[in-house]
Structures are given as C-alpha cells and as structure tokens.
Amino acid sequence: MVLLGLVCVACLLVSPSLAGIKDLSSHFSTSNQNPRGFEQSDPEDVEAIPLDFHRENTVTNDLVLDGFEDEDYIDFDKILAAGSDDYVEGDEIDEIATPAPDIDIFAESSDPKIRRARLLRLYSSRSRLQRLNIINARFGFNLYRSLRNDVNQTDNILLAPAGISIAMGMMSLGAGSQTHEQIYKAMGFADFVNASHHYDNTTVHKLFRKLTHRLFRRNFGYTLRSVNDVYVKQDVKVKDGFREETKAYYFAEPQSVNFKDPAFLDKANRRIQKLTKGLIQEPLKNIDPNMVLMLLNYLYFKGTWEQKFPKEMTYYRNFRVNEKTSVRVPMMTNKGNYMAAADHELDCDILQLPYTGNISMLIALPRKITGMRTLEQEISPTVVNKWLKNMTNRTREVVLPRFKLEQNYDLIPNLKEMGLTDLFEQNGDFSGMTSEKLSMNWLKHQGTITVNEEGTEAAALTQVGFMPLSSQIRFVVDHPFLFLIYEHRTDCLVFIGRVANPSQN
C-alpha cells in the first residue's frame, strides 16, 4: 500500500514579505530479455527484514492520532443539500475551437499554432473538468522539469501538481489585474479559458470546487483528504470578497491569529500532523512575526493495491542507481493481469498498478539506465494519453522496489522560471485580497510517500512507433523510474515523482 502526505506552504509578509499559499487539494512492455538484477535464488526474504520496517510501511499499522474524526472531512453532501449549487457544471462536453485535421498532435514543434492545436485535440470529447486537469498536468510536468534541473541526477523527486494548481487558483482570487493575468498565463488557466466562449475566469474556480468535491468524497475505496487553512494577522483586514470566494470555491476560511504567539506554530503543526496521519511532522519550523497572511493546504492519500504483493515474495535485490552503482533494497514481486504499454519513441515501458477505486499508479521505466533524461524531457499530457490508448492487458510478473520518499522544496525559483514573477516582487498586486502591500518570499512544498506490499499511503490517435506488449512476461523495475498517480474519473494528475535510489528517503 502507499501512503502519501504533502504540504504546500506560501506565506505573505509585509514588504519583502511572503505570500503564503499552498495547496494540494489524476495511469497507467518491456523487452523479451530477462532483466538484470533479478536472481530468484536470492536468500534474503521478507522475514529477514526488520520488524520495524513492516510496522512503518504497512497500512494496517499506520499512525492513528487522537481526535482524528470523520468530521475532519469536508461534508460536501451537507454543503450541497443546504441550497442551490452549480455543482453539475463541469461535466459538459461543450464546443471548443477546432484544430486543423491534418495537424499531427504528437509532432514536436515550436509553432504556437501547432502547440495550441495539440492542446485542443486533447480536449476532444473531454468534460470541462477533464480539460482543466489537462492544463494542470501540463503545468505539473513543466514544474517537474524545472525542479529536476536543480537537483542531482541521483536524487529522488516528489511533487503534487494538482495541489499547487489549486493553490495558485486560490491566489488568483486575491490578485489584481496584472498579477492575475500573469498567474493565468503561467499556470495555463488562460489557455483553458480561451478554448471556449463558454468559459471565463469564474469557470476555473467553479471547476476547482468541483475537483475538490470529486477527489475528496468518502467511500471511493481509497482515502484522499485535503484541507485548506488561511491564517491572517490579527490587525489585517481581509476583503469580504476574498473571504467569501475562498470559502465558496476552495473551502478555506481566513482565521485571525497572532503570528508572534509561539502557540500558533504548535497549533498549525499539530493540525498538519493530524490531517496527514503523522506523515508530515512539524513542517513549519519557524514563522516570521511580521507575517501577514498564511495559506496552508494539507493532503493525505492512502490507497490499497487491487492486487496486493505477497509479503513472502519480497526479497532483497539489486537496484541499479546508475551504470556504476547498485544498492540492495526490498523488491516486491507479484503475478497477475496488468495493463502495460511500450513507447518505442521514448524508449521506455509503462505499467499500470491500480488501487482499489478509480485511481492508479503509472510506472514509466526507461529501457536504458541512461534514458531517464529523455523521458523526463518529453513527458506531457499528450504522451500519457498515448500510453493509455495503447495499453494491453496480460498476465505479468511484476517486480517493484518498496520505497519511501520525503521531499521538501522551496518552489519560488522554479515558479519564477516559469513566468510567475510578480507574486514574489514588490510590484505584485494583491489588491483583491487586502489593502496591505504584500509579496511572496516563501513557498514551501513538502511531501511523503510510502509504497509497499499493501498499496500506497501519493477520435483515433496516431500510433507511430508504438506497439502493444505482446511478448512481455516480466516487468522488473530495477533502475530509476518515474511514477504518476492519476485519479481516473477526473483525469487528475495528483502526484508525480522520480525514484532514482529507493534506499534513500
């Protein structure tokens, strides 16, 4: 099973201050050769693994915190029963601009017209909510690439793109015209709004409300929980419009607090710990007493594999970190019917590991240990859509490392690189939020994922260079790979990550 917990934080301070937002509010052949590093005779089985490791990585034994009740969920049923609501908006497949039929949407091009045509073709037969999630995923892949350039090739990576998009959507409610325009352009929201004459800025916020409703309802077979908190300095007046809209669209209600009071830090950290089931401990180490506004979002995901990996089939095996280095890690093994595909253009194989419910993990494994760079550079919503269209189902033996990632990033340099600059400079306009002069100087993104035997606690298309996996018997993940966690009803990319070394957190 897999446990995922993520926190995104951005804090707004006076002058060179900090705008606090964070939010986290959607799957997917290998060659015929026997992969290296899979020696069936390896004597180290699961019984040799320390008992503490099992306790830490088994869903049934995860931390239960006092006071964590069902009431911590947002009760959408109660909200919607209270009066009229436009929740039904979002499932329409309404008209969009039609791209030229002879444009190859999978071809790479620097021509903006072709890029737009590819996007619009992806929109075909998609609902409004699915279209917004295509935009969110495109942003997520671009942010991943920016972050990847800042870390070592052997570092693990973990991001929750949907949450960051939700955070920026909430930020745009408080942004003045020029800053608002920059957010929409950098996040891709402008591309969405311009796709149909039916769409406007309000449509984006209505769809984020709907996305929150769809992702975080109960009884879906998995647990995905997110809560937004907005904290405001006691003597700062938040505009009524911002207060009402954050509550209506993002279920976040500003609370007046004293940031100078040490008790606030303890309160915020205990709430984060509770809502992430103890996965994220004390993400806020300190707080600037001059802070004006802090927006926090917590995300907790717990899923169970449809086909659990038998613990007696877990053995220590070699995982090749690079061409010169290998590490010994617990490798889970299972046999069953799995969907998979081969992308011969990107020279990688894709495996879909479904959780109970409409959510799954896609493993994208480069065939060459040096192939990660190409895969990371080219992955996009178009590529993932192509993978899904070409998957085949057959009996496979799957070998996958157990891993746990804990990552913590300051994303401001990356968002600046992607065009979000006004938010972090003195000319940022937050006049829709407050009359205070604000700028954002801290945006923190923190996450944890554990993957083990139980699960996780995080028209016709051209098929050039693409073939089904007709002869695969094994799918052995014994070198660096990407993983994506998608929620299928909404096509929402919830998490993206890279496991370069499963022995490292």
User: Which position has the token pair 């939010």?
Assistant: 23
Closest Cα to residue 74, out of 238, 237, 187, 218? 218
pLDDT top residue among 38 and 87:
87
pLDDT surpassing 50 at residue 305: yes
Regarding the domain delimited by 311-403+471-499, which CATH topology (the fold level of the hierarchy) does it fall under? Answer: Alpha-1-antitrypsin; domain 1 (2.30.39)
Domain map of the chain by residue range? 121-303+405-451, 311-403+471-499
- pLDDT confidence of residue 295: 75
* pTM for the structure as a whole: 0.79
Please state, in angstroms and rounded to a whole number, the distance separating the CA atoms of residues 138 and 131: 11
- pLDDT confidence of residue 139: 94
pLDDT top residue among 286 and 476:
476
- Decide: 132 and 92 in contact? Cβ < 8 Å: no
Please state, in angstroms and rounded to a whole number, the distance separating the CA atoms of residues 481 and 307: 21
- Sort strands 157-159 and 492-499 into parallel, antiparallel or unpaired: antiparallel
**pLDDT classification of 5: cutoffs 50, 70, 90:** low
Give the DSSP H or E segment for 458: none
Handedness of CA 187, 412, 447, 273 (dihedral sign): negative
Q: Which pLDDT tens digit goes with each residue over 373-418? A: 999 999 999 999 999 889 988 778 899 999 888 777 788 889 899 9
What integer best gives the mean pLDDT of the chain?
75
- Decide: 183 and 420 in contact? Cβ < 8 Å: yes
**pLDDT classification of 67: cutoffs 50, 70, 90:** very low
Q: Which CATH superfamily is domain 121-303+405-451 in?
A: Antithrombin, subunit I, domain 2 (3.30.497.10)
Please state, in angstroms and rounded to a whole number, the distance separating the CA atoms of residues 379 and 366: 12
Q: What is the arithmetic mean of pLDDT over 116-143?
A: 88
- Sort strands 359-366 and 348-354 into parallel, antiparallel or unpaired: antiparallel
- pLDDT confidence of residue 253: 81
Domains 121-303+405-451 and 311-403+471-499 share a fold: no
Please state, in angstroms and rounded to a whole number, the distance separating the CA atoms of residues 263 and 255: 15
Q: Which pLDDT tens digit goes with each residue over 98-116? A: 655 555 555 555 666 777 7
- Decide: 353 and 484 in contact? Cβ < 8 Å: no
Q: Contacts from 257-265 at CB under 8 Å and sequence distance 24+?
A: 257/231, 257/232, 257/233, 258/233, 258/234, 259/231, 259/233, 259/287, 259/288, 259/289, 259/290, 259/291, 259/294, 260/289, 264/231
Give the DSSP H or E segment for 480: none
Q: State phi, psi for 422 to the nearest 5 degrees.
A: -60, -35
- pLDDT confidence of residue 341: 92
Q: Which two tokens stand for residue 235?
A: 């003597």
Q: Which pLDDT tens digit goes with each residue over 259-296? A: 888 888 888 888 877 777 777 766 777 777 877 777 77
Q: Which pLDDT tens digit goes with each residue over 169-227? A: 988 998 898 899 999 999 999 999 988 888 899 999 999 998 888 777 656 777 777 76
